[in-house]
């Protein structure tokens, strides 16, 4: 598979997070000749927070994680993830697969089952051959290492064209606190949850409740503000583990919150940059809405509009389609107050094409790889920023022949 | 442009509706070498009802029609439509274009301006050269004829690959009552209004209020149940004119309601069959929902899902994507009660793949041109049926280079 033209130059060097180790294995769940299982182990005393898909048909793994995530524990924790099969809509058999994997990991790693979190990603509705995963637990235990997070990022890929990782180091009270995260996702990406699989680790000291609150807040302005194709996965999972190994308590610390925000936003952007068939990275800034909720409606109506997304693919400054998307969004809007910009170019204002409008300048702007669309509704102070990609022949090619 | 593979074999023979005449002209609004304006005249005493887009950025024409549609009049009426330019988001200038066209038609045809209804369809945000239209009014007046509705259907096409028309004749109290309708539309098609331009004429006797009520009711189960790409136009307009020439009062008559329903549904289906890039006509039947509203959420979530639509394009029975769409719809759903069918084939039930599932049989079914997806939620008695098409490379090709 060709690597996305929007991919970063290389997978970044990520710092070791004390208290976390990784291992990967080639279990042959579906793929051959590649790794497809990763196991992360967190030291005793770690706290874990999570955000999950709101889908009514969420996977057995998600249901199990949700049942466990709100409980305190002094024990260590494990996160085990397979690619190639989502274990979604696999009925009671899917529940059984999760139970067997959790029991196996708990036994092998000497953890309570309540501290084993599982994710599965891939095709929906096929039985998960969980025995292939549990057969690798001895190997996954033996190979644990602190510096192999990049391998973990590769093992969880499905239609991704590049592995996704990022990090931040923030100094608090004179001591460094580290954050490192990985993600997968490139299709079936829409908000209303975390939109893919994301695992973030930090050596910060922070209680479970405080961590959960922080993660939920940052999720709303990062992963919940991206969309590739408006289709929400049944498996979306974001887990954040804090080992406390730095000895630095970050509860309520805004520098840590900002650093975590940066890591989450970078991973969210990388998912968009690997959007199936994507050739353009698109930022949509909505201002002047009656409310923030209205601004989000307008931003998402544009980000999910096939006509807006194909115009971007065609490098066509067809701002009439942006007007259309504003109109269909359900948000309060007044034609004569609406202003539409592309980068610094004002395309439309006061209910019509701007007197400064230049088709040539707009067309030239559309040739950029990074496109910023601005919509000002002129009504109030509501704002929203979301990120998406264009809709291309590549998306059709990938998705008209994914399963068969 | 290649004619849609889903098109009817030919434009049908439509009956003359006494009290209605048509003419077309080549005004050169945008297109050359084709007609682009049609004028329909209704006899004095006709009633007119309408349904319009709910877009907050609706066109000047729609705003003008909405201001006029609720008023009784004994005068005749005119409907004038141009293709090539939608006159949407053209600000005060757009209002002026509508006013000048209405004044010109009223003067030339000796009608009150309040009885002149205009529609414009085509590119958004470009000034409408209304002088080219008004320059043709003498010609449009002189050429009025009762038997040229097919020409009218052709004049209002934009990206349509075939002209759309249908009719019904229903016998009431021993007398025939006729209905004939035309439509245009193939992209920017989504519900929450009439979804395109549609003009229907009948010689029935029916008051304005009764006609409006009937049209609104039937619209909810016809044009509001189709979607091509989830994008709602700024110009969508459905006008129905009843001349009364048959002398048959159809107020409250269920046979007439059924016949009108049939005409509206046929035109709605033809719009889907001309969906941009469409190669499959898809019916989505949702049953067993907690409420009708929930059933509609599930049906539309499937009909607008890029992943469901690309699977259909790829003839891939990827029912996991249907599960995904059910899950993201926001409707109440229970994994273990969900049943999914393709035609008569049961794919999934009781929360998992059906024991009767045959990949070969499902793949063979997907090669049909007409695909019926069934989703039973097993919760209640709510139902919904919607119609859509697949999402193909053709859609991308058409829309990544429409305006430039």
Cβ pair A89:B403 closer than 8 A: no
Q: Structural domain boundaries of chain B? A: 20-273, 281-399
Torsion, Cα of B262, B265, B269, B270 (10° steps): 70
Checking if the pLDDT of A193 tops 50, the result is no
Q: Chain A contacts of B348, Cβ < 8 Å?
A: 89, 125
Average pLDDT, chain A: 89
Q: How far is A235 from chain B (nearest CA, A)?
A: 10
Confidence of residue A26 (pLDDT cuts 50, 70, 90): very high
At residue A232, the pLDDT reads: 65
B298 touches chain A (CB under 8 A): no
User: Would you say B295 and B221 are in contact if contact means Cβ atoms under 8 Å apart?
Assistant: no
Q: Does residue A121 belong to the interface with chain B, where contact is any CB pair within 8 Å? A: no
For residue A161, pLDDT beyond 90: no
**Region B349-374: what's the mean pLDDT?**
92
**Per-residue buried b or exposed e for B269-282, using 16+ beta carbons within 10 Å of the residue's own CB:** bbbbbbbbbbbbbb
Helix (H) or strand (E) holding B172: strand B164-172
Enumerate the β-bridge partners of residue A118: A80
Q: Does A331 touch chain B (CB under 8 A)?
A: yes
Q: Which of A163-172, A196-205, A388-397, B346-355 has the lowest mean pLDDT?
A: A196-205
> Of B280, B302, B308, which is closest to residue B289 (Cα–Cα)?
B302
Residues of A in contact with B307 (CB under 8 A): 187-188, 229, 231, 399
* Nearest chain B residue (CA) to A397: B393
pLDDT at residue A367 greater than cutoff 90: yes
How large is the average pLDDT for residues B76-99?
A: 91
Least confident of A83-92, A110-119, A258-267, B75-84: A83-92
Q: What is the pLDDT of residue A91?
A: 82
pLDDT digits (tens, 9 = 90+) for B166-216: 999 999 999 999 999 888 876 665 433 223 777 888 999 999 899 999 998
For residue B26, is pLDDT > 60? yes
Per the model's pLDDT, the better-predicted residue between B402 and A307 turns out to be A307
Measured between beta carbons, the chain A residues lying within 8 angstroms of B362 are none
pLDDT at A404: 41
- A332 to chain B, any CB pair closer than 8 A? The answer is yes
Find which of A96-105, B1-10, B161-170, B183-192 is predicted with most confidence, using mean pLDDT. A96-105
- Res A191: pLDDT: 34
- In angstroms, the separation between the Cα of residue B153 and the nearest Cα of chain A is 25
> Which of the two residues, B90 and A49, has the higher pLDDT score?
A49
8 A C-beta contact, residue B267 and residue B221: no
B401 pLDDT tier (thresholds 50, 70, 90): low
Local structure of residue B11 (DSSP, 8 states): P
pLDDT, one tens digit per residue, over A232-251 is 666 677 788 899 999 999 99
Choose the closest CB to B231 out of A328, A335, A395. A328
> Hey, is the C-beta of B233 within 8 angstroms of any chain A C-beta?
yes
Residue A283 has pLDDT above 90, yes or no: yes
CA distance B54 to chain A (A): 7
More confident: B198 or B324:
B324
pLDDT in tens, A137-151: 999 999 999 999 999
pLDDT value, residue A278: 87
Would the CB atoms of B316 and A401 count as touching at under 8 Å? yes
Binary contact (B326, A94; C-beta < 8 A): no
A195 tagged catalytic: yes
Q: How far apart are CA A211 and CA A44, in angstroms?
A: 16
Query: For A233, which DSSP code?
Result: P
What's the CA gap between B274 and B280, in Å, rounded?
10
Asked if the model's pLDDT at residue A328 lies above 50, the reply is yes
- CATH, domain A281-399, list 1.25.10.10, 3.20.20.70, 3.10.20.340, 3.30.300.130: 3.10.20.340
User: Which entry of B47, B53, B195, B279 is annotated as an active-site residue?
Assistant: B195
CB contact B329 to A (< 8 Å): yes
Mean pLDDT of A61-68: 92
| Chain A hits for B232, Cβ within 8 Å | 324, 327-328
Does the CB of B360 have a partner CB in chain A at under 8 Å?
Answer: no
Structure tokens at A191: 């908000």
The strand ranges marked E within A244-327 are 281-289
B230-288, pLDDT tens digit by residue?
Answer: 666 666 777 888 999 999 999 999 999 999 999 889 888 888 888 888 899 999 999 99
Contact map slice: A 307-326 vs B, CB within 8 A: 307, 310-311, 313-314, 316, 318-321, 323-326
CATH for the B20-273 domain, from 3.40.50.1400, 3.30.420.40, 3.60.70.12, 3.40.50.300: 3.60.70.12
Q: Are A39 and A138 in contact (CB under 8 A)?
A: no
* Distance between CA atoms of residues A377 and A373, nearest Å: 13
What is the distance between the alpha carbons of residues B84 and A352, in angstroms, rounded to a whole number? 18
Q: Which of A307, A313, A403 sits opposite B316 (nearest CB)?
A: A403
Across residues A89-117, what is the average pLDDT? Answer: 94
Q: B141-166 burial, b for 16+ CB within 10 Å, e for fewer?
A: bebeeeebbbbbbbbbbbbbbbbbbb
The reply to whether B348 touches chain A by the CB within 8 Å rule is yes
The closest alpha carbon to B170, from B238, B254, B90, B251, belongs to B254
Asked if residue A124 has pLDDT above 90, the reply is: no
What's the average model confidence in pLDDT over B100-116? 97
DSSP string, A267-282: HHHHHHHT-TT---EE
Q: Do A92 and B352 touch (CB under 8 A)?
A: yes
Contact B125 A320 (CB under 8 A): yes
pLDDT at B280: 93
The string of pLDDT tens digits covering residues B120-152 is: 988 888 889 999 999 999 999 999 999 999 999
Contacts of A295 in chain B (CB under 8 A): none
Provide the pLDDT confidence category of residue A194 given band limits of 50, 70 and 90. Answer: very low
pLDDT at A233 (0 to 100)? 66
In this structure, are residues B284 and B388 in contact, taking their beta carbons and an 8 Å threshold? yes
Please say if the pLDDT value at position A132 is more than 60.
yes
Residue A195 has pLDDT above 60, yes or no: no
ipTM over 0.95: no
pLDDT of residue A229: 67
What is the CB neighbour count within 10 angstroms for residue B6? 21
Q: Which carries the bigger pLDDT value, residue A239 or residue A167?
A: A167
Per residue in B365-387, pLDDT tens?
A: 999 999 999 999 999 999 999 99
A183 close to A198: Cβ distance less than 8 angstroms: yes
Between A404 and B122, whose confidence is greater? B122
């Amino acid at each position: 598979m060709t690597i996305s033209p929007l991919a970063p130059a290389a997978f970044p060097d990520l710092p070791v997070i004390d208290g976390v180790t990784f291992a990967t294995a080639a279990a042959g769940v579906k793929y051959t000749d590649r790794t497809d299982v990763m196991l992360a182990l967190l030291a005793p005393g770690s706290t874990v927070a999570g955000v999950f898909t709101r889908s009514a048909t969420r996977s057995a793994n998600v249901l199990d994680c949700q049942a466990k995530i709100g409980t305190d524990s002094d024990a260590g924790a494990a996160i085990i993830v397979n690619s190639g099969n989502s274990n979604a809509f696999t009925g009671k058999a899917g529940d059984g697969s999760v139970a067997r994997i959790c029991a196996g990991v708990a036994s092998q790693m000497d953890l309570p089952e309540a501290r084993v979190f599982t994710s599965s990603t891939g095709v929906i509705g096929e039985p998960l051959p969980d025995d292939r995963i549990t057969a690798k637990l001895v190997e996954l235990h033996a190979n644990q290492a602190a510096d192999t997070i990049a391998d973990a990022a590769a093992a969880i890929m499905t239609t991704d064209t590049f592995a996704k990782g990022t990090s931040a180091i923030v100094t608090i009270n004179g001591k460094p606190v580290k954050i490192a995260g990985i993600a997968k996702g490139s299709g079936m990406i829409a908000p209303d949850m975390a939109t893919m699989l994301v695992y973030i680790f930090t050596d910060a000291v922070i209680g479970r409740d405080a961590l959960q609150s922080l993660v939920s807040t940052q999720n709303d302005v990062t992963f919940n503000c991206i969309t590739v194709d408006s289709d929400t996965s049944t498996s979306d999972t974001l887990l954040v583990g804090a080992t406390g190994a730095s000895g630095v308590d970050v509860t309520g610390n805004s520098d840590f919150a900002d650093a975590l925000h940066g890591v989450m936003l970078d991973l969210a952007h990388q998912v968009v940059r690997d959007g199936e068939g994507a050739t353009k990275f698109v930022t949509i800034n909505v201002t002047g809405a009656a409310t923030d909720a209205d601004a989000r409606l307008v931003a998402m109506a544009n980000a999910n509009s096939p006509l807006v997304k194909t115009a971007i693919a065609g490098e066509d400054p067809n701002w009439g389609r942006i007007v259309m998307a504003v109109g269909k969004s359900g948000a309060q809007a007044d034609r004569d107050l609406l202003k539409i910009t592309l980068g610094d170019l004002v395309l439309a204002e006061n209910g019509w094409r701007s007197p400064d409008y230049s088709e040539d300048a707009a067309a030239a702007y559309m040739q950029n790889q990074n496109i910023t669309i601005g919509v000002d509704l002129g009504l109030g102070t509501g704002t929203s920023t979301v990120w998406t990609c264009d809709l291309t022949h590549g998306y059709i090619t990938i998705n008209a022949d994914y399963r068969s």
